[in-house]
Structure 1
Amino acid sequence: MGTTLFRYTDLPIGDRAAFELVCARHGYAPVHFDISASAKAGEPAHERLVTVRRAGWTQSYRDLHGQWIRQFEADLTCRFFK
């Protein structure tokens, strides 16, 4: 079984909109981050792994129906990506 890689623009529109709102709340723009996602063949889309990179910092989140955005915001609140 292979793995499919996705870019930010391949994510669902709702996830992208929520990500943009989270970024704006914390003084960032989506372009400040490199977003990629991967999913194993045959797995549901909501089980993909989303990876966020910024300035040498990398964090990966399980999608879990958009939960990755809440986890990402928690990391921004903790200043993980500063």
Structure 2
Amino acid sequence: METTLFRYIDLPIGDRAAFELVCARHGFAPAHFDISASVAPGEPAHERVVTVRRGNWSQSYYDRHGQWVRQFEADLTCRFFK
């Protein structure tokens, strides 16, 4: 079974807009992060895993209909990526 990989620009426009808004609220730009997503064959697109990297830090989130952006913002609030 091969996993399909996606880049930031391949994510739904709603996810990208929410991510950009969260970044702006915390003083970042989307370019400060490297984002990739993967989905296993046969899995729905909303069940993908989104990985966010910045420098030596990375965190993976289960998408579940855009929930990854909320989890990412919680990590920003806790200063995980600073």
Structure 1 letter corresponding to 2:37: A
Q: Which residue of 1 aligns with 2:33?
A: 33
**Alpha-carbon distance in structure 2 between the residues aligned to 1:60 and 1:16:** 16
Aligned to 2:66: 66
The aligned amino acid for 2:8 is Y
Question: Which stretches in structure 1 are left out of the alignment for 5+ residues?
Answer: none
SS at match of 1:42: coil
TM-score (normalised: structure 1): 0.99
What is the rounded CA distance, in whole Å, between the counterparts of 1:45 and 1:22 in structure 2?
22
Tell me how far 1:55 sits from its aligned partner.
1.1
Q: What amino acid maps onto 1:57 in structure 2?
A: W
Look up the match of 2:11.
11
Unaligned runs of 5+ in 2: none
**CA root-mean-square deviation:** 0.4
Q: Which amino acid aligns with 1:19?
A: F
Residue 36 of structure 2 aligns to a residue in which SS?
strand
Name the TM-score, length of structure 2 as normaliser: 0.99
Residue identity matched to 1:73? E
Instruction: Name the SS for the 2:42 alignment partner.
Output: coil
Extract structure 1 runs of 4+ deviating beyond 6 A.
none
Q: Distance in 1 between matches of 2:58 and 2:14?
A: 23
